[in-house]
Copies of this chain bind each other. A is one copy, B any other.
Amino acid sequence: MATGRRPGRPRGRRREEILDTALEVFAEGGFHGTSLAGVAERCGLTQQGLLHYFPTKQALLVAVLARRDELDAARFTRDGREETVLSEAAALAEHNQAVPGLVKAYSVLAAESTTEGHPAADHFRRRFAAVRSRFAADLTAEYGGTLPSGVRAEDAAALVAAVMDGLQLQWLHAPDEIDMPALVTAFTRVLEAGQAPPAPAAAPPPPER
């Protein structure tokens, strides 16, 4: 699997180690507050050594985000899973509580990349759209276009993604006060709960913009 160039430290493995370290460093300073020199130092490399793997800070950030997505995707293949789509959100929250460094890096970069000309802006715009679209499709496959609560599948997808991100922020600031899996579960149970759907909730008015 590895295409090792140096004995005892295959190149692919070293690259992953650099990405994991860079993710931590980006989490601390954001893209703007992070220097290649700082990442290199933390990796025990010279700046030239780091540039050998990633030619620019931007290339490094993009690789870092792609690696995070790979790790997430590997965890979220639905093959052979018995959970409902919504219970997977709680499972993800449970997992996230074990990897605060990753959650922090994600939160900082997702927010920082809302600013003009940020190199990860495109990554996050596409990522959010993909998350909503895939999740809405899964919900539609399970419930049809409208959940038992009367919330449309596509609205539920945006709301679940929002709850996850927003709870992460509160949890990062107060890990002892916020129980993410319990709160996500309380939320998804309400979305799944059957009731006569009040008409306005089932079809909120289209945006006037």
Contact = CB atoms under 8 A, between A and B. Distances in A.
A179 to B, nearest CB: 4
A156 to B, nearest CB: 8
B177 A129 contact: yes
- Stoichiometry, as copies per complex, reads 2
A85 interface: no
Contact of A190 (B116, B178, B182, B190): B190
Contact of A110 (B111, B163, B195): B111
Given A190-B191, A193-B201, A204-B182, A30 B159 contact: no
24 contacts: A28-B115, A28-B116, A30-B30, A32-B32, A107-B114, A108-B112, A108-B115, A111-B111, A114-B169, A114-B173, A150-B189, A151-B190, A158-B178, A159-B163, A163-B166, A165-B169, A182-B205, A182-B207, A185-B200, A186-B204, A189-B198, A190-B201, A194-B195, A195-B195
Contacts of A162: 162-163, 165-167, 169-170, 183
Interface of A: 27-33, 104, 107-108, 110-116, 121, 124-125, 128-129, 132, 149-152, 155, 158-159, 161-167, 169-170, 172-174, 176-179, 182-183, 185-187, 189-191, 193-195, 198, 200-201, 204-207, 209
Candidate in A27, A112, A116, A183 with the most chain B CB atoms within 10 angstroms: A112
A155 B114 contact: no
